[in-house]
Structure 1
Amino acid sequence: MMKRIEKGSLLVLAIIVAFNIFFGLGSIPLLDPDEPVYAETAREMIQFNDYLSPRIYNEYWFDKPPMYYWLVAGAMHVFGDGEFAARFPAAMMAFLTVMMLYCSVTKLFSEWAGFWSALVLATSCQFFYLGKAAVTDTTLLFFLTGALLAYIHKKYWLMYICMALATVTKGPIGLVLPGAIIFLHIACTGQWRRILEMHCLRGMVLYLLVAGPWYYLMYQVHGMEFIDTFLGFHNITRFTTPEHPSRVLWWYYFPVIVLGLFPWTGLLLQSIKSAFADCRSEEMQKMIFVQIWWLFVFIFFSISKTKLVSYILPMFPALAIMIGWNIARMQKENYGVRWSWVLGTGIMFLVLTAGWVIGGQQLPEVAFGGIVLGVVTFILGVSIIWALVVYRDINFAAWLHVITGVLTMVIAFSFLLPMVANRFSVKEIVKVYQSKCDQQKPVYVDKFLHPGFMYYSGVPGTEVKPKTTDLTQALNDPQQKYVLVRGLELRRLKNQDQVQNLREVKVIGDIYLLEKY
């Protein structure tokens, strides 16, 4: 009977996760500035038949290690060049992360704890959004999560391999993050003998054998330029110096968690409390590890001067484990009204209802869609509270959370994002450039739009940085040219009376194609 339940729950889980991750994967153009970077770099690997040194704009660049580029290049060979191929590896890694979490948590706690942990992760807004994006984050997440789960299961050789592959995905963070979490767990629990069990010296040799070759070959080909740019600027400098000074806020990641974990945010505080207060003695060591996992990731990136929404994605599997374990525990006990769940859900669903409606008003194209999503969120929030207070059905309430996550994804990727895609992608305006513009004239491109312009046009153009004299000079020098710029930058310069002799060729979604005459 137990085997049938496991097979049935695994099949249900796989169907829900696959739908939530792969739905609409290729229906939206690549969004600037990040997605086209990875697609274009993979394309240039194929073009130059060079899978060692990443390039963009036909020039070497050392922003990230090659793992995701390799995966995208492989997908392009299979599916052809396009949005689906660029996003497929990220989606597949997201899917595999969820299934890995299910298998691991089932062994650690129970089959239903694994089932709900996986569903919490798969239907969380930040996870399924990044799972559909052509960026490195879910690939890194897969290997980091694999390393941490391998440690807790005492699969140490697998742990070292996952750390190494994470390092080939995004650099030293692949070793630093899991290494620090594991050390803190050993120190907090006094399990110092595990250091001997882990065969650290031989493990590091294995780590270097897997992670080292690409770094060694890059140093042999590019010398100190690679070391200074990749390790110096893109790792150390970004941690110690803010890339976006306006985001240096101690509370920056709190709203990221509130929105990113939706629709499960209302269960988070109760689940953290229960992980301390209601955890059985045989589960405590495992739960301490989970707590250290999410806390360290949160503190580490809060300290970092450069902050991006996607940086804290590695804490989401740990949060999902706590919430999934808590749901399974409440299902088993099945007593009383869960007032903390009711209160948390009421607050979070009201906040998100208002957020969808108010946020939609900022962009005219999605104003109605924001209202629809807000109404759906409100109705489902009321339904969850009704299920908990009147019906007193933990299982039904949890499934309503799943439905909320799936419906949020469907509305966002079927209606909202397609309507605003042209505000964040140059795909359509590039078609105008190719059909109506003199290709012999130089073209200057806003830095934010540059990767997408290169990917969709194949023309490197000249990059101009916003809020600098570069953009002003490009718009005002007498040379005939085309300029591709965002509306917010153009309006800023017009307000300063710094724009002369420009003709609008086309405006699509607040992206301007201009001709200097």
Structure 2
Amino acid sequence: MTDIAPPLNDRWFYALVVAGIFLNATGLFPPILEPDGALYACIAKIMAQTGDFVNLYAVGRDWLDKPHFPFWVSALSYLIFGINTFAYKFPALLFFMGSAIYTYKFVRLAYSKLTAQLAVLVLLTAFHGVLSNSDVRAEPYLTLLIIGPVYHFYRVFLGDKNDLSKNWLHLLLGSFLTGCALMTKGLFVIVPIGAGLGLHWLLTGNWRELLKPRWYLAVVLSFVFTLPEIYCLYQQFDLQPGKVVFGNTGVSGIRFFFWDSQFGRFFNTGPIKGAGDKFFFLHTLLWAFLPWSLPLYIGVGKALVALVKRQNPLPEYVSLGSSLATFALFSLSGFQLPHYLNIVFPFYAILTAQFLVSLNPVNLRRWTVAQSIIGLLLVVLIVAVLFVVKPAKLGIALSWVIIITLATITLFRQTTMLSLMGRMVGAMLVLAGVLNLFLYPTFMQYEAGLTAARFVNEQPLLAKRPTALYGPGTFGESSWSYEFYAHAPTQYIREDSVLRQMSSHRAVQVFTTNTYADSLEIRGFRVRRVAIFPYFHISQLTADFLNYDTRATTLKPYVLIEVK
């Protein structure tokens, strides 16, 4: 295929890729963020410590919400690296890097080398992708487990007449990765995997592909590879209907996997509900895909206009179909969170890259200037945040900003495609570095469970004692980070009667809120406060918390107490 424009110099491209990987790898350094990340880390910790890879437990009870695959991967990582922050986050980063490789390979099936290079760099620098490699949930895994099957199935569609065995190998690999995706998020992963392929066949006159037996075989194989998940759910829940789950008995884990966790959330009829907004992802994507959101929106708009006018057909419609179908699905859902769209960032990156490559020299210069302004605004914003937050290493943080900014300006002075990509990598390197190396370490001082666990671990008289995590209401604010980082065992206590029985013969070490500690004293327990730890819900930052001068007014005290 003839390049519209020459590709980036390989040395520059690989240098930018290394910088992109590094800016994502800075997310390995901050501790695990509450609440979801710490919860998932604890579930995998229990799995690794007990050797039980069938049952999922959280907060001392059977847990039915997410499928097993990410927990299996995290638990295996714990067995290799030990139970720590790195071991939890590192596999997710590897999966994300794998998604960049698959993105490149997929783009090269239909586009120029330049388009593939740009797509990889866009994917590595999209803001919420970077954020998800610090606040690790299922999305870094799914990013690979979506683009991977699409690549393999597209290879099957293109075919290899010289070696038919490769077609079957790609069908098998695509089905395996689809099975892993199902065991990560559930049934709806079929939409981003299958919708784009279906749209491509329809728009390119290959609709007969929908009738070919090999695709029905792929569906069957995908569910065959999902059988480990079905088995685990059947063993933990369906075989034991007396278990209380979501406040009910007789809950089927298999039904939850196929219906309640997916359609129940979509229609907002399941046990876990949300408040859907049809325009939520339309405005969320504007900041989540920074610094590339504007070229993405314009690129998608131009592709849709061309499609309606039947002009300038795209080399493939898989990216457009998968990204728009998933966007529509999540927009119509009754349960929405900002990170949901991360799983189709590879397709957004492809659409963005395709638009950038199509620019003529004049428009390329204009877009280089416009994107540079966006990058500069991000740098100015992060510097302003530094002065408001006042982290402990403010001087080093400002030096980081100045050095990378000056290096970026020096190296990428021209208005070329290389300069455009280099400037955006530089801007995101500033942003990710400041966020993960300087701001999050400051914020994490207010993750009370983390600081309390570290305090206990460093005290010889406290370190070996088990800790009761007391919460008569619901858990989740800071108990999960304590459970993960504490070296000694922990136990969740909900009822006073249990705590009273435990403390009748010996003092019990308890971690709880100061309000709950006061309530224990009122109800006749003898409480001795060992230490107090300030707490804030860091995943929901506010202006008052960010502001060094008003931060103290936003904090809630947690306490480590001795109860008799």
Q: Same fold (TM over 0.5)?
A: yes
Give the deviation of 1:416 after TM superposition: 1.2
Structure 1 residues 142-221: aligned runs within 5 Å: 142-153=144-155, 154=157, 155-197=170-212, 199-221=214-236
Give the deviation of 1:274 after TM superposition: 4.6
Q: Give the Cα separation in 2 of the matches to 1:248 and 1:357.
A: 34
Q: Which amino acid aligns with 1:21?
A: N
TM-score after normalising by structure 1? 0.79
1:447 alignment partner, SS class: coil
Q: Give the Cα separation in 1 of the matches to 2:216 and 2:177.
A: 16
Structure 1 residues 70-89: aligned runs within 5 Å: 70-89=72-91
Pick closer, same or farther for the CA change 1:13–1:400 going to 2, 3 Å: closer
Q: Give the Cα separation in 2 of the matches to 1:228 and 1:337.
A: 52
Give the deviation of 1:51 after TM superposition: 1.5
Q: In the alignment, is the contact (CA less than 8 A) between 2:192 and 2:322 conserved in 1?
A: no
Pick closer, same or farther for the CA change 1:444–1:51 going to 2, 3 Å: same
The sequence identity of aligned pairs, in percent, is 19
1:266 equivalent in alignment to 2:294: yes
Deviates more, 1:218-227 or 1:438-447: 438-447
Pick closer, same or farther for the CA change 1:126–1:61 going to 2, 3 Å: same
1:297 equivalent in alignment to 2:296: no
Aligned CA-pair RMSD: 4.3
Give the deviation of 1:114 after TM superposition: 0.4
Structure 1 residues 314-333: aligned runs within 5 Å: 314-330=343-359, 333=360
Give the deviation of 1:18 after TM superposition: 3.0
TM-score after normalising by structure 2? 0.73
Unaligned runs of 5+ in 1: 465-469, 494-499
Q: Give the Cα separation in 2 of the matches to 1:378 and 1:277.
A: 39
Pick closer, same or farther for the CA change 1:344–1:187 going to 2, 3 Å: same
Q: 2:22 aligns with which of 8, 19, 44?
A: 19
Pick closer, same or farther for the CA change 1:47–1:374 going to 2, 3 Å: closer
Q: 2:261 aligns with which of 234, 239, 251?
A: 234
Give the deviation of 1:258 after TM superposition: 2.0
Per-residue CA shift, 1:432-472, capped at 9, x if unaligned? 356476957844154222221221225444367xxxxx99x
Q: 1:420 aligns with which of 433, 443, 446?
A: 443
> Which residue is 1:513 aligned to?
558
Per-residue CA shift, 1:180-231, capped at 9, x if unaligned? 4433444455531111346233222212221123313531453154235544
Give the deviation of 1:335 after TM superposition: 3.6
Q: Give the Cα separation in 1 of the matches to 2:358 and 2:484.
A: 49
Give the deviation of 1:38 after TM superposition: 2.5
Q: In the alignment, is the contact (CA less than 8 A) between 2:134 and 2:436 conserved in 1?
A: no
Higher helix share: 1
Per-residue CA shift, 1:343-396, capped at 9, x if unaligned? 5664x457646754676687564896999599879979x979x96xxx543331
Q: Give the Cα separation in 2 of the matches to 1:197 and 1:157.
A: 16
Pick closer, same or farther for the CA change 1:193–1:463 going to 2, 3 Å: farther
Q: 2:55 aligns with which of 46, 53, 57?
A: 53
Give the deviation of 1:10 after TM superposition: 6.6
Q: How many residue pairs get matched?
A: 488
Pick closer, same or farther for the CA change 1:503–1:129 going to 2, 3 Å: same
> Which residue is 2:282 aligned to?
254
Pick closer, same or farther for the CA change 1:463–1:257 going to 2, 3 Å: farther
1:107 alignment partner, SS class: coil
Q: 2:416 aligns with which of 393, 407, 426?
A: 393
Q: In the alignment, is the contact (CA less than 8 A) between 2:368 and 2:416 conserved in 1?
A: no
Q: Give the Cα separation in 2 of the matches to 1:161 and 1:394.
A: 37
Deviates more, 1:171-180 or 1:227-236: 227-236
Q: Which amino acid aligns with 1:423?
A: Y
Q: Give the Cα separation in 1 of the matches to 2:343 and 2:195.
A: 13
2:470 alignment partner, SS class: strand
Q: Give the Cα separation in 1 of the matches to 2:286 and 2:8.
A: 33
Unaligned runs of 5+ in 2: 158-169, 239-250, 520-525, 536-554
